[in-house]
Structure 1
Amino acid sequence: MNKGFYALAIVVSLLLHGALITAITYGWEASSMPERKPMPKFVQAKLVTIEAATPQKKLPKKVDKVQQRAQREAEQKRQAEVERKRRAALERKKKLEAEKKRKAKVEAERKAREAKAQRENERKEKERKKKELQEQLEKERQSSFDEALEDEEDLLDANEAQQAMASVGQAIRQQIEAVWSRPPSARNGMTIKVKINFVPTGRVVATNIVEGSGNTALDRSVLTAIRRVEVFPEVAELAREEPTIFEREVRTTILNFIVEDLRQ
């Protein structure tokens, strides 16, 4: 430890001596240099002409031609860009107006077609209704005519049926009354309603008393007279010639028999 301390002290001492020697040397050199005397200052005179204070025109600044050309080109480009944008805006406006006109034209044409189609449909509907009305009127006229014709035919048929029925009924009644033997208990004014069923051959297949006279013997006498006749030629003839009338009017016949010629 002592050795280290001594070494450090030696180094510090050497440094201090070196610094002192350097300071002394520098001071010696400075003192040995001759003293320089300052140079005298001379005043330089210059003749100045005083002129009247008149405003002088400012000379235009010299502009670099290259810069001027560049500025012109830049301005031309700017104006060209402005013009391009203006033309582009104008073109867009024209296109929008053209598109608007085209759409308006298309819409107008569509509405015109729809209106025309509607008018055509209305015309067709009107014609259809008119045709239907005419057909209906024609059908009604034809129906009225047919009904009148049918009514006339029905009337004729009814008249013919009534005549045929009356004729056949009269023949049936006459044949039955011709063989009808009335009992002693019968009295004038007594009425018997009888139902007779025929077949197309004119034969009687069934008889029934619908309304009796109140006298059983008289009622039985009428049924007995019908069974005696049994077949009626007039009925068979009507069935052959007028089967419809036979089926509707004669197949089932109802007759009234009245006692009116007895002596009291």
Structure 2
Amino acid sequence: MSWKSPNSYHLPVVAAVLIHAFAAFLLVAEWRRSEPHMPEPVPQHLIANVVQTENQAVKQREKEQQKKRDDKAKREKLAREKAAKEKAAKAAQEKAAKEKAAKEKANKEKADKAAKDKANKEKLAKEATLKEKAAKEKSAKEQAQREKAAQAAAEQALLEQMALEEASAEMARQEAAAKKAADIERSKQIAADSQTQIRLKIESVWQYPPAVQPDQEVVMKLVLVPTGQVIQAQVVKGSGNAALDRSVEQAIYKASPLPVPQDIRVFEQNFRTFTMKFRPENASW
């Protein structure tokens, strides 16, 4: 509510003082006029003029007093209206202040409730997050344990598989070795049999010259093809008797093709290129 400064009341106060002073003057003048006195005799026309002048003065005073009363009533009315307006303004301000306070209180309660709800939500969210994290950690730990167990089982199975494979491989190696040994032995037997047959065939057509000694020996190098055909027959070590050496060479070519083994591996290992010793009178060896 706004209040006017003291200077705004100076004019009404001065006006009131002047009005009261003028009223006092009128009362004194009227009192003095009402005192009994003996008027001096005046002419009749002068009396009429005085009466008329006095009536005009009275009317003028009454008119001025009425005007003052009207002005006073008007000022009082304005003052009442102003007071009413100020009272209404004060009431409106108080009402606005109350409404503002109520609104601020409602807003504060609303904000407090929102803050409390937010805090509860955050708390619940945090608890949910912690629970979820704990569940994930538990799940991860269980998964790690399962993976570790599975890895251990896989490693054990791998070790067992490796052991089984090693045992199988060892058995296979042993079988291969046994087979190889058997093959070698068989190859040796086939080679020995073939050499015996080759020697018998060559000796069956060998006609060595006379005057040879049983201990004379000719070492021949033979080069064959898988069909037994003799490609080359060469004296590696002679007997000292050229005729005997030539007779062995001729017998080899004459006996061609020689009885070589059908197994190509045995042939390649033993009969592609090989040497044989020949002596006359083989029966005496």
**Is it true that 1:120 corresponds to 2:142 in the alignment?**
no
Partner of 2:275: 254
Question: 2: distance between equivalents of 1:182 and 1:90?
Answer: 133
1:132 maps to 2:153: no
Q: Name the counterpart of 2:137.
A: 111
> Could you tell me which amino acid in structure 2 is paired with residue 212 of structure 1?
K
Q: What SS does structure 2 have at the residue aligned with 1:121?
A: helix
What residue is the counterpart of 2:208 in the other structure? 181
Q: Secondary structure at the match of 1:194?
A: strand
Work out the CA distance in 1 between the residues paired with 2:122 and 2:111. Answer: 16
Match of residue 213 from structure 1: 238
Alignment of 1:3-14 (within 5 A): none
AA partner of residue 155 (structure 1): A
Q: How many residues align?
A: 192
Supply the AA of the counterpart residue of 1:84. K
What letter matches 1:181 in structure 2? Y
| C-alpha contact 1:207 1:223 (8 A) present in aligned 2 | yes
* Greater helix content: 2
> 1:49-81 CA deviation, whole Å, 9 max, x = no partner?
xxxxxxxxxxxxxxxxx89x9688876665554
Deviates more, 1:150-159 or 1:124-133: 124-133
CA distance in 2, matches of 1:259, 1:120: 85
Q: Give the whole-Å Cα distance in 2 for the aligned partners of 1:230 and 1:156.
A: 30
Match of 2:174 in 1: 148
Return the alpha-carbon distance in structure 1 between the equivalents of residues 181 and 172 of structure 2: 13
Q: State the alpha-carbon separation in 1 of the partners of residues 140 and 105 from structure 2.
A: 51
- Please state how far the C-alpha of 1:82 moved relative to its aligned partner: 4.0
Which whole-Å CA distance do the structure 1 matches of 2:280 and 2:137 have between them? 93
* Post-superposition CA distance 1:84-140 (Å, at most 9, x none): 333222211111111112222233333333333333333333333333322222222
Q: Does the aligned pair in 2 maintain the 1:193–1:255 contact within 8 Å? A: yes
Q: For the residues of structure 2 that align with 1:225 and 1:119, how far apart are their CA atoms? A: 84
1:94 paired residue number: 120
Unaligned runs of 5+ in 1: 1-35, 40-65
TM-score, normalised with respect to structure 1: 0.56
Identity of aligned residues (%): 19
Separation in 2, partners of 1:256, 1:92: 113
* Secondary structure, counterpart of 1:181 in structure 2: coil
RMSD of aligned C-alpha atoms? 3.9
2:23 aligned partner: none
Q: Quick one: which of 242, 245, 251 aligns to 1:225? A: 251
Shift of 1:182: 5.6
Alignment check: 8 A CA contact 2:226 2:267 kept: no
Match for 1:255: what amino acid?
Answer: M
Tell me the secondary structure at the aligned position of residue 208 of structure 1.
Answer: strand
| 1:193-246 deviations in Å (ceiling 9; x for gaps) | 41231443x44343234x3338482543321221232244x43xx42xx45434
Contiguous gaps of at least 5 residues in structure 2:
1-27, 32-90
- Asked whether the 8 Å contact 2:222–2:230 carries over to 1, the reply is no
1:169 shift after superposition: 1.0
Over 3 Å counting, the alpha-carbon distance change for 1:183 and 1:123 in structure 2 is farther
Q: Distance in 2 between matches of 1:197 and 1:172?
A: 12
Amino acid at match of 2:238: S
2:208 is paired with a residue whose SS is coil
On the 8 A contact 2:217/2:277 being kept in 1, the answer is no
**CA distances 1:13-50 after superposition (whole Å, capped 9, x unpaired):** xxxxxxxxxxxxxxxxxxxxxxx99x9xxxxxxxxxxx
Q: Who is 1:159 aligned against?
A: 185
* CA positional deviation for 1:175: 3.5
1:250 maps to amino acid: F
